[in-house]
């Protein structure tokens, strides 16, 4: 094998090794982020769960991903429906179109503070009309997006306030 061929082979091996190191570094970064998420998930869930105002977290498909205890207590909602993925937001009939528009536009990265809401819980498919009537004390809401690292919106959050 000539010296030139050996040099070319070493150069290609060096490039391959550098590419593998970069991929390994990227994978390590993703693994560390995932581990951090798993380690802190319980803490974040507890904070959300024990927050005194009702909170609903929903997907771009308008399915509820999570609600806190205050939301479930306020609406008499069953967690079984939530676990099945059956609870949808933006039902066929929403009393407040301003709220419906905000829920849809949150996935464009917009944040909203809304006041004077009328029956804001009526937009959730698993909540009965009786539950909606009992929950008239929450007439304000903050709706905001939850972005991922690539600035894509993965979830929307509604915090209902008195």
The pTM (predicted TM-score) of the whole model is 0.68
Q: With cut-offs at 50, 70 and 90, classify the pLDDT of residue 151.
A: confident
**Is there a contact between 94 and 117 (Cβ–Cβ < 8 Å)?**
no
Is residue 158 over pLDDT 50?
A: yes
- Report how far Cα 90 is from the mean position of its chain's Cα atoms: 16
What digits encode the pLDDT tens for the residues 103-145?
A: 989 999 899 998 888 878 878 776 655 444 455 678 888 999 8
Give the residue-averaged pLDDT of 12-40. Answer: 68
Q: In terms of CATH, what superfamily is 52-162?
A: PAS domain (3.30.450.20)
CA atoms within 13 A on the CB side of 124: 31
Is residue 38 over pLDDT 60?
A: no
Comparing 149 with 31, the larger pLDDT belongs to 149
What digits encode the pLDDT tens for the residues 68-83?
A: 899 888 887 765 556 5
Neighbours of 66 (CB within 10 A): 16
What does the pLDDT read at residue 75? 82
Which string of DSSP letters, residue by residue, matches 90-118?
A: S-S--S-HHHHHHHHHGGGT--EEE-S-S
- Report how far Cα 57 is from the mean position of its chain's Cα atoms: 6
């Amino acid at each position: 094998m000539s010296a030139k061929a050996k040099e070319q082979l070493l150069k290609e091996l060096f490039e391959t090794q550098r590419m593998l190191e970069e991929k390994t570094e990227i994978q390590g970064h993703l693994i560390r982020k995932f581990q951090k998420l798993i380690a802190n998930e319980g803490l974040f869930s507890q904070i959300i769960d024990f927050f005194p105002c009702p909170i609903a977290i929903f997907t771009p498909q308008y399915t509820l991903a999570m609600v806190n205890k205050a939301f479930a207590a306020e609406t008499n909602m069953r967690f079984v429906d939530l676990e099945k993925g059956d609870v949808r937001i933006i039902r066929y009939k929403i009393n407040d179109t301003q709220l419906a528009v905000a829920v849809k536009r949150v996935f464009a990265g917009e944040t909203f503070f809304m006041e004077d809401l009328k029956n804001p819980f009526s937009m959730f498919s698993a909540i009965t009309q009786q539950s909606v009537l009992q929950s008239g004390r929450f007439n304000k809401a903050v709706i905001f997006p939850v972005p991922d690292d690539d600035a894509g919106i993965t979830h929307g959050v509604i915090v209902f306030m008195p």
